[in-house]
Structure 1
Amino acid sequence: MKKLIFLLIFVLLACETADDVVREATIEVPPPTVVVSVPVTEVVSDPIYPDDPVRELTILYTNDEHGWMEGVREGLGAANLVGTWRNQFGYEPGLDSYLLLSGGDMWTGPAISTWFEGEGMVEVMNQMGYTAAAIGNHDFDFGLEALRARATEANFPFLSANTRRTSDGQVPTEWGIEPFVVVESNGVRVGIIGLTTTRTRTTTNPANIVDFEFIDYETAVREFLPEAQAQGAELFIVIGHLCEFEMRDLAARIPDLPVAIIGGGHCNELFAEEQDGAILLAGGSHMATFAGANLTFDTSTDELLSADYGTDYTDDRVTENEAVAAVVARWQAQTDEELEVVIGYTEAGFEQRSAEQQALITETWLWAMPTAVIALTNMGGFRADLRAGEITFGDVVGVFPFNNVLVSVELTGAQIVTLLTRSNEQLAVGGLGEVHGRWFLHKTGEVLEDDTTYTVLVNDFMYAGGSGFGRLAEWDPAGYNTAVDWRQPLIDWLVAQDSSPSETVDAAVGEWLER
């Protein structure tokens, strides 16, 4: 596995509360029956009613898990989620009257997931008993080799019917991507079709998907639903890394197709509604919330007789699934072993995307590479707070989880102002100040001149056109890839401060902001 190696200069070692409930209907779980059709970690037998064509299925849906197997706070992790499913819905891994589905973005988040390129998250989801997952834009973050490795390790398929090779328009199955899967659940053959956001090209590193395109959702569903039917599917579910407006648009376009459920993701939304004959489910994010649906299906007529659906996280979340908890604990121990080296201290901490956190990245770039005078980075890469107290390698990786490197470009003052005023995403800016609408350089005090060329540091995601920054490469086609990891200057700076619990880095960060 590719690992990031930090080269430290001075030492030898070198990305709503659960009390509120949104609920459209109550999910009642009937006595389940079992015909095991997907790999599971434990098979639990339950009654079989072979003569009854009416079957009950329960859908449990998450999305945008982003590697938060431990939970964004105590009681909201993967083990607690499975405990909640057991308490509320009778779920146990291995019962095939339940379908566990993900809308994608399974990793890229805290260090426990990011450092191992999602490997631990896949093992956790295996233990939880997931049936299938859509591929999200961030599932490409570690490159195609890593995606294929995770697909090989998973006991469930990674689905995307609209991801295509630009060379021939086919789904790139050689990278572990499948358009759909047909599984048997409680005697019902269920066709599950996956979709990936069409905005993936600008929301993961474009270098990871150079031969890929992401076609229209409706086109992909209409292409593969008949293939799933030909394989015997009776009930159809679409799981997609799609925002609510895209889910609604898709539902409005395919009312003639027998799609019972459209699942979403990408925008971290939490809802369960019906539109144009389809149930729309979105499970929130970070494994803190989920959506669900209980379906009653007649296998003799292929008719969906009833559907109760909603979102629910009212359980106290104190019950853990021990097997899942054990997997999480093992990965946390491995993370601690590799990343829990203390490199600094902060008294107050630095909130996600705060001015202080922005300065930590951009100003340390300029500190490490003094030939540059300006640093710009998209704030989509700032994924968490940097909490008060000790700062470790793992903290830095968790706050800034993407594996980007620095690129040095030569831009005119006019081009820089265009980026600052017209970018689609808010930028963190280092080396520049603004007074009465005019920008000036911190290093020299000089006013930014339209026709003067300046050395600017950006990340390779931006330079490759991510988040709509395609003009960077147009303006400077010869941008220099420094091969320096974007987190490395921050790590080196933290070590150089030689901070302690009594003398933290807060004051130094404050000085940057006072200029």
Structure 2
Amino acid sequence: MTLIHDTHFHGRFEDAGDAELNLQRYFAVADQLRSEYDNAAFIGNGDDLAPSLLGLEYEGSHMIEALNYMQPAAVGAGNHEFDFGIEVAQERFQTSEFPWVIANLLTPDGEPVPGTQRWTTFETGSATVGVFGLGTESFHTITSYPDDWQVLDNVAAAREAVAALEGDVDFIICASHISTGAQERVANNVDGLDAIVGSHSGVVFDAPKTFNGTTVAEFGDEFGHLGRLTFDLETGELSEWERLDFYNSAALGDGDSPPGGDSENHVPRDVQEIAGDEELASMAQAYTAELEEQLGQPIVESEVELNATYDNYAVETGLGNLITDLMREVGDFEPGIDVAVQNAGGIRSNTMYGPGAITGINVMDILPFPNEIEVYELSGAKLREYIEGSVRPMPGDFGSQPAIQVSGISYEWWGHDGETNVENVFVGGEPLDESETYLVSTNDYVAGRSVIGEGERVLSSGQFQGPFMIDQLEGRDTISPTRGHRMIRVDETVDPATVEGDGETITLTASLPTEASEGFTPDTYRVVPRTGESVTPESASASDGMVTATFDAAELTELASMDDPTLRLVGGFDPDEEHYGYTNDGGDLIELPPSSGYSYHQLKASVDAETVLAATATATPTETETETGTETSGTETSGTETSGSQPGFGATAAVGGAAGGAYLYDRLSDDETEG
């Protein structure tokens, strides 16, 4: 039999970065494969209703119409099916003309989620196939799933499903919406399961993997890839497979090569040569026309590339700085909001934008959730607890991650061996005071699932993040958000750096963490102060286990001359996998670092400011720019981050403007300011 997989459409009819990669072409190929192969079935793995601008506007009903037309054999329910609450999810499931399956979600009474089945069977040609779904065990914390509804352990639910199906079917499939690592755990601990397709992670495998006789295939999400797996029904083994890699030849630059093609199983498909399904094309046009008219025009020009990819989980991004800087402009607070925090999972589309025009649709694709901006009074102790609790440590599928974007606060973070820590936490350039009360801007999703919600809410803005950001950007000609040092990764802390100067230069020398390191990563070193711009060296090298970085004396003296500068030399090294000892379920060492946001680990060595000043008594400081949270031009001037000031934009004229997004505001009731 043949499986064509999967869906994971996020409520979109087209790719956020390239409209030529779209549902009508994707399905045309899937449907062709379904007709070409005997005993073929199209399997979905969920997250089909949201998050996206269309998902927010239609709450997933548009995708039910599309999926009813496409007629998948079954779809495993994902977490984003529940973004608009359990009642909407049930309604969408119940109006579907195909089965939704999820074995590990139950009502308080132990029944399947209404409109879904825990498992089911279907006939394809001569084969009877059993299929069940699995969702991530963190359902309660990542979506609007009722607290009193049950989420079962994935392995236990999978064993129950296989036991119910085996003996009556020729083949058993899990339509998965769990992470890559969790799938390996299920496969290794559940006998009788033939295949797991899809995932929560959106990972693209080079080839299917086999664990305990179970074939596991993950080929990304949305419209970039489509998988075909052909199995021998007698043995249950994979006999043929291919990963179709879609690309748009019209978007390739001079000298660019199409993706894929590096293996006979990776098949490049130019979407310009694919005739899309006409019914789906008509459906997409009907749903998108009104939104295109209202939000399709440029609202601002970006002078830099904006990174809305999943890198926002792993590293500080200019876009993350832009979003959080704007969140501190909500309301009318004097002297202003101290800190803003944004969950990385709320930054979607997984696309790069610009340089160039940014449209309202772009913004809504980046911030598609019905998340309202709120402001809380929070103690410094709770603020520290929040940022430390947000860090995702190793071991993990995607490595150590801060998992948030921030404004007004900077800190060092560490996450290893299942533990986390933050150090050198500064708010507005000053050390965090755990007994002080700070104003913190966030969204209601974060507040409802973290210690921030334990503070006193002083503003319910009535503003969804996407429309609010549109309003804030429309008054500006250009934006140029940059990365700074708001979140500094520290994997290893080494002895303080030694300092030598000759009046013109300063040389800092620090030890590499020899047991943890296999080498030095050039072009990653800099000295970071508690506030203001970091300074990069004129040269950096490594020898005999030591790193030597030489700086312009005047620039480094400038940093050392500020009050309590808290100088630190930070930079990269190649991690030694054996030292860290992280392994997968099969006992093999995990290649480090696994995060797409980093290609190295990072060390920190403190730098004594008094020693720097003593070594450069003859050097003359020169002016260096202070850190700008987000640079702008036009009707607003750019703010600078100095001790006691707020980074990011200056105060905006009004919060409640409705340009470019009024039709979305009425989804919230008229909340009033509290407190």
- After superposition, what is the alpha-carbon deviation per residue over 1:446-491, rounded to whole angstroms, capped at 9, x for unaligned? 65422111221221111222xxxx3333x42767644432334323
The code of the aligned residue for 1:452 comes to E
Once residues 632 and 63 of structure 2 are traced to their aligned partners in structure 1, the CA distance between those partners, rounded to angstroms, is 34
Corresponding position of 1:439 = 426
**Aligned pairs, number:** 433
Corresponding position of 2:383 = 416
Instruction: Give the 3 Å change call, closer, same or farther, for CA 126–262 of structure 1 in structure 2.
Output: same
* More moved, 95-104 vs 58-67: 95-104
Corresponding position of 2:513 = none
C-alpha contact (below 8 Å) 1:413/1:451 kept by paired residues: yes
Instruction: Give the 3 Å change call, closer, same or farther, for CA 247–427 of structure 1 in structure 2.
Output: closer
1:367 aligns with 2:338: no
- After superposition, what is the alpha-carbon deviation per residue over 1:211-247, rounded to whole angstroms, capped at 9, x for unaligned? 32311122222323444458x4332211111222212
Corresponding position of 1:182 = 121
The code of the aligned residue for 1:462 comes to V
CA shift, 1:262, in A, is: 1.6
The one of the two structures with greater contact order (alpha-carbon pairs below 8 A, sep at least 6) is 1
Instruction: Give the 3 Å change call, closer, same or farther, for CA 201–332 of structure 1 in structure 2.
Output: same
Larger radius of gyration: 2
C-alpha contact (below 8 Å) 2:383/2:452 kept by paired residues: no
- After superposition, what is the alpha-carbon deviation per residue over 1:481-515, rounded to whole angstroms, capped at 9, x for unaligned? 444323343233223x16489xx984379934665
Instruction: Give the 3 Å change call, closer, same or farther, for CA 310–216 of structure 1 in structure 2.
Output: farther
Match of 1:427 among 404, 408, 413: 404
Once residues 353 and 332 of structure 2 are traced to their aligned partners in structure 1, the CA distance between those partners, rounded to angstroms, is 25
Corresponding position of 2:270 = 316
Q: Secondary structure at the match of 1:451?
A: coil
- After superposition, what is the alpha-carbon deviation per residue over 1:337-365, rounded to whole angstroms, capped at 9, x for unaligned? 44335544434452224643223322222
- After superposition, what is the alpha-carbon deviation per residue over 1:64-116, rounded to whole angstroms, capped at 9, x for unaligned? 332343134354322222343466x3637xx9832111122113344234432
C-alpha contact (below 8 Å) 2:386/2:452 kept by paired residues: no
The code of the aligned residue for 1:507 comes to S
- Structure 2 matches for 1:269-418, cutoff 5 A? 269-271=203-205, 272-297=208-233, 304=236, 307-313=239-245, 314=267, 315-317=269-271, 318-323=273-278, 324-340=280-296, 342-352=298-308, 353=312, 355-371=317-333, 372-384=337-349, 385-418=352-385
Corresponding position of 1:149 = 91
1:171 aligns with 2:107: no
Once residues 320 and 216 of structure 1 are traced to their aligned partners in structure 2, the CA distance between those partners, rounded to angstroms, is 43
Once residues 340 and 429 of structure 1 are traced to their aligned partners in structure 2, the CA distance between those partners, rounded to angstroms, is 28
- Structure 2 matches for 1:183-332, cutoff 5 A? 183-205=122-144, 208-228=145-165, 232-255=168-191, 257=192, 259-271=193-205, 272-297=208-233, 304=236, 307-313=239-245, 314=267, 315-317=269-271, 318-323=273-278, 324-332=280-288
Once residues 157 and 44 of structure 2 are traced to their aligned partners in structure 1, the CA distance between those partners, rounded to angstroms, is 19
C-alpha contact (below 8 Å) 2:155/2:185 kept by paired residues: no
Q: Secondary structure at the match of 1:115?
A: helix
Corresponding position of 2:471 = 492
Instruction: Give the 3 Å change call, closer, same or farther, for CA 81–225 of structure 1 in structure 2.
Output: same
CA shift, 1:268, in A, is: 1.1
Give the number of the structure whose residues are more often strand, by fraction. Answer: 2
CA shift, 1:438, in A, is: 5.4
Give the number of the structure whose residues are more often helix, by fraction. Answer: 1
Corresponding position of 1:471 = 451
The code of the aligned residue for 1:471 comes to V
C-alpha contact (below 8 Å) 2:374/2:457 kept by paired residues: no
Q: Secondary structure at the match of 1:60?
A: strand
C-alpha contact (below 8 Å) 2:331/2:459 kept by paired residues: no
C-alpha contact (below 8 Å) 1:344/1:505 kept by paired residues: no
- After superposition, what is the alpha-carbon deviation per residue over 1:181-216, rounded to whole angstroms, capped at 9, x for unaligned? 2111113221111111112222224xx432323111
Query: TM-score when scaled to structure 2?
Result: 0.58
Instruction: Give the 3 Å change call, closer, same or farther, for CA 365–90 of structure 1 in structure 2.
Output: closer
C-alpha contact (below 8 Å) 2:25/2:276 kept by paired residues: yes
- After superposition, what is the alpha-carbon deviation per residue over 1:13-50, rounded to whole angstroms, capped at 9, x for unaligned? xxxxxxxxxxxxxxxxxxxxxxxxxxxxxxxxxxxxxx
Once residues 425 and 188 of structure 2 are traced to their aligned partners in structure 1, the CA distance between those partners, rounded to angstroms, is 48
Corresponding position of 1:120 = 62
Once residues 325 and 110 of structure 2 are traced to their aligned partners in structure 1, the CA distance between those partners, rounded to angstroms, is 44
Query: TM-score when scaled to structure 1?
Result: 0.74
Q: What percent identity do the matched residue pairs reach? A: 22
C-alpha contact (below 8 Å) 1:244/1:264 kept by paired residues: no
CA shift, 1:269, in A, is: 1.7
Once residues 132 and 238 of structure 1 are traced to their aligned partners in structure 2, the CA distance between those partners, rounded to angstroms, is 10
Once residues 154 and 505 of structure 1 are traced to their aligned partners in structure 2, the CA distance between those partners, rounded to angstroms, is 47
Once residues 115 and 289 of structure 1 are traced to their aligned partners in structure 2, the CA distance between those partners, rounded to angstroms, is 26
The code of the aligned residue for 1:130 comes to P
Q: Secondary structure at the match of 2:29?
A: helix
The code of the aligned residue for 2:384 comes to V
C-alpha contact (below 8 Å) 2:341/2:405 kept by paired residues: yes
Once residues 305 and 133 of structure 1 are traced to their aligned partners in structure 2, the CA distance between those partners, rounded to angstroms, is 23
The code of the aligned residue for 1:410 comes to E
Corresponding position of 1:52 = none
Task: Please identify runs of 4+ aligned residues in structure 1 that moved more than 6 A.
Answer: none
The code of the aligned residue for 2:277 comes to E
C-alpha contact (below 8 Å) 1:63/1:265 kept by paired residues: no
C-alpha contact (below 8 Å) 1:60/1:293 kept by paired residues: yes
Segments of 5+ residues of structure 1 without an aligned counterpart are: 1-56
Once residues 440 and 245 of structure 1 are traced to their aligned partners in structure 2, the CA distance between those partners, rounded to angstroms, is 36
Corresponding position of 1:139 = 81
C-alpha contact (below 8 Å) 2:2/2:38 kept by paired residues: no
1:511 aligns with 2:633: no
* More moved, 370-379 vs 238-247: 370-379
CA RMSD of aligned residues (A): 3.2
The code of the aligned residue for 2:47 comes to D
C-alpha contact (below 8 Å) 2:170/2:233 kept by paired residues: no
Once residues 96 and 261 of structure 1 are traced to their aligned partners in structure 2, the CA distance between those partners, rounded to angstroms, is 18
Once residues 277 and 510 of structure 1 are traced to their aligned partners in structure 2, the CA distance between those partners, rounded to angstroms, is 62
Once residues 107 and 134 of structure 1 are traced to their aligned partners in structure 2, the CA distance between those partners, rounded to angstroms, is 12
Segments of 5+ residues of structure 2 without an aligned counterpart are: 246-266, 392-401, 413-422, 480-629, 642-646, 648-675
Instruction: Give the 3 Å change call, closer, same or farther, for CA 282–454 of structure 1 in structure 2.
Output: same
- After superposition, what is the alpha-carbon deviation per residue over 1:111-130, rounded to whole angstroms, capped at 9, x for unaligned? 23443222223333333332
